[in-house]
Chains A and B, each alone.
Chain A
Amino acid sequence: MTPRLSAHGVVKRFPGVLALDGVDLDIRGGEVVAVVGENGAGKSTLMKILAGVLTPDAGELRLDGAPLLLPDVRAADRAGIALIHQELNLADNLDLAGNLHLGREPRRGPRGLGWIDRSRLERDSRDLLRRVGLDLPPTTLTAELSIGQRQMLEIARALGRSARFLILDEPTSSLSAAETERLLGLIAELRAEGTGIVYISHRLGEITRIADRVVVLRDGARTAELSGGEIERGRMVREMVGRELESLDSCERALGEVRLEIRGLPMAPEAPVLDLDVRSGEIVGLAGLVGSGRSELLGAIFGVAPRSHGRVRVDAREIPPGSPPASVAAGLGLVPEERGRQGLVLEGTIHENLALPGWRRTSRRGWVRSDEARANSRSVVRSLDIRPGDATRAAGTLSGGNQQKVALGKWLPLEPVVLLLDEPTRGVDVGARLEIHRRLQELASAGLAILFASSEMEEVLGLSDRVLVLHEGRIAGELPRERLSEEAVLSLATGSEAAP
């Protein structure tokens, strides 16, 4: 009999929010069910309930028809359900074998002594690693793995616990194109072996490729279930947002003088150097695979990453290497890749975050002028439509999209002349993404020079006036708006075409 995991009428309340309002979900062995929805739609909550991290307030779970109680993660583990978190939970200091068997190491010797059976550990590990296509010795240190390899390791760990249901939460958000392909391949194999897979992703392109069914959540309720030919991008977006989304109009902007001038900046040690000008009113995109050096480049310009040689000038003013304060003083701002770690003080309030880079400006001889800072924050909250609009809430309690707006909004009171953005909308839902893109266009129209890096093709194509494609630490080519297309970017990014 095919194993079958189902949830009926699941309700989950958090203080002030009804996260799930009577949701049904049904997963059979040997199929891939995608769950999509905007941030805050309840996807993660539902997955946590299936994995025993949270318990539902009402409704029930069933496994093969029998009621299933999951008071904790161990119970889910015993039932063969494994959740692979967005934030990977691996111990860097252990080797692969150690992580694969963490908590269930094969023992030998007298009971209770806890001697680890090293040879069995490594033998079992080799089998598991082979199954997920990780060609590494089990004694490799986990810290040496790429993010994609870690994801594979997590899946191998779940398989080692004979999981029959795998829940993958945004597994590809930080994977390179090649790693994504490998992961999708592995999912197809696991499906063929009879594993039931729940797949959560903002990347609708992946979903159209691998999902047998798509369940759409909106505001904690299930709004649609699509299968077969219905699984199509426009349809999914419509169901997620609940309305037709207007697309981003490319607007013609008048270009002003050169604001950011980069000369001879190396993309990586020993790599060729980069020359680049970004003009007032211009949005320049940096495309390329993960690991092509985009983040390092933006970091080196801003001063948070090392810069051994090369020059950066903002409005003809030289920026010394390695000094973010000098960059900010010259009119640069950076919205970094990891908003939780680099962009925001999550425990701080929205106001504290919005005011942080601007304290110097909203102070007189070191004494802060709180009223002015608060007024600035209020106007940013209004202009970016940050929700909830109560600036005394902790930034960490906001949805991804609103957190990203705060990470962007903290630069606005400083009126920067050049804004650098690294993955401006990673993990942000469709609606908020469009709002952020619109706002960036408005800022450019008002004269800002914008340089951004993105691994999302749609973003690169929709937002940029000009795209630089990077490949292995060098510029593979430059595409003006007229010649922009997915094929053109991809062929440059994968190195299959020489620079024109």
Chain B
Amino acid sequence: MRKALGAAGLLVGAGLAIAIASPHFMTAFNLENLLRRSSLFGILGIGATFVIVTGGIDLSIGSIVCLVGVLTPWLLVEQGVDPWIGVLGLLGVSLLLGTLHGVLITRLRLQPFLVTLCGLLVYRGLARGITGDQTQGFVGGFRGLRQLGNGRIPIPGIEGFTIPVPFLVLVVVAIGAALLLGRTVWGRYLLAIGRNETAVRYSGIDADRVKILAYTLCGFLSGLGGLLFTLDVGSAQPVDFGNFYELYAIAAAVIGGCSLRGGEGTILGVLLGAAVMQVLQNGITLIDAIPNNVEFAVIGTVILIGVVTDESVRRVIARRRPEGRGSIP
């Protein structure tokens, strides 16, 4: 919870600084866009969180985003597949890819880094191969379906600001994820595995199944994210669609309080982390004094400062209180 507070502080601080530096920040149009982008990355971040709390990592998120993002318009427009079948089929594929990662990691005892690194390479290669590297788009069609990504819902009584549909999707996903992590047996197991997998096994718990669940959820949420991204933008280039998105998702989880050693993390924190990432990116675009091409450097520096501060605070607290790390109620 403390780390989520830190992320909230960072979000407010960065927001205020950018609002002062640029008059365009606090406009309804910009905030709406920010909310949409944060929601999309929040979905990916939640997926990454499930894997990270078990002490694992998923590097394939961006490539699954690309695979689903590129193949959705390819199936629907080029191949003329029924939208229901196409969309549900691709979501199913992304889910199964996650399961495959989990099975390889638990049954063959391969390292998560390695398995998902291969996933990163394979899925992007597949997406590029299948489409012949051609940009795929909806060419103005499928307006109903695309509402899922770019739709806006007016708030009664408020003019000018509308709620982006991906935000509603995120709310549903986040509530589900928070309940899973906080209120179910699976959530207890996920967190305990991140702290000591051996002790979990020795407690008579099928740790492998729990880990497979984590990778499956991550795969599915990557696919869902990819779908919403492509519906929002309207077209996708196989070469760079979803590039680095796994790193954004992991960074969001870490800013939001996940420990890469596992055993720690909250859904609220990850959502705030995803928002921090988007606000920083937005600020760099809006503030003229900062050239756009230093974007990565700025984001990297801010995250680094954040985790260093957090670690220092943690040490001071640990010296005062010999209590359990993040006690679960």
Q: Which residues of A contact B (CB under 8 A)?
A: 15-16, 304, 324-325, 327-329, 332-334, 336, 341-352, 355-357, 359-360, 363, 366-368, 370, 392-395, 397, 410
Contacts and interface: CB of A to CB of B under 8 A. Distances in A.
Nearest to B320: A15
B202 A342 contact: yes
Given A359-B188, A359-B189, A360-B185, 17 more contacts: A15-B322, A325-B206, A329-B204, A341-B198, A342-B198, A342-B202, A343-B202, A346-B196, A347-B324, A351-B328, A356-B199, A356-B203, A357-B205, A367-B185, A393-B322, A393-B323, A395-B324
Contacts of A325: 204-206
Contacts of B183: 367-368
Interface in B179-195: 183-189, 192, 195
B328 A352 contact: yes
B327 interface: yes
B200 A356 contact: yes
B198 A357 contact: no
B329 interface: yes
Interface string B210-233: 000000000000000000000000
Contacts of A341: 196, 198-199
Interface of B: 183-189, 192, 195-196, 198-206, 263, 319-325, 327-329
A264 B320 CA distance: 55
With most chain A CB atoms within 10 A of its CB, the pick from B192, B322, B324, B329 is B324
B201 A352 contact: no
Contacts, number: 106
Given A324-B202, A325-B206, A348 B192 contact: yes
User: Which secondary structure dominates chain A's binding surface?
Assistant: mixed
A350 B323 CA distance: 10
A351 B188 CA distance: 12
B198 A394 contact: no
A345 B323 contact: no
Contacts of A395: 324
A329 B205 CA distance: 10
A329 B203 CA distance: 11
B326 to A, nearest CB: 9
A129 B140 CA distance: 79
Contacts of B187: 368
Contacts of B325: 347-348, 394
Contacts of B202: 304, 324, 334, 336, 342-343
A386 to B, nearest CB: 14
Contacts of A367: 183-185
A366 B186 contact: yes
Given A15-B322, A366-B184, A366-B185, A348 B195 contact: yes
B189 A345 contact: no
B204 A345 contact: no
A85 B200 CA distance: 27
B185 A345 contact: no
Closest 4 CB pairs of A and B: A328-B204, A349-B324, A394-B324, A357-B203
Given A341-B198, A345-B192, A363-B185, A410 B203 contact: yes
Contacts of B185: 359-360, 363, 366-368
B192 A344 contact: no
B196 A344 contact: yes
A352 B323 CA distance: 13
A375 B204 CA distance: 21
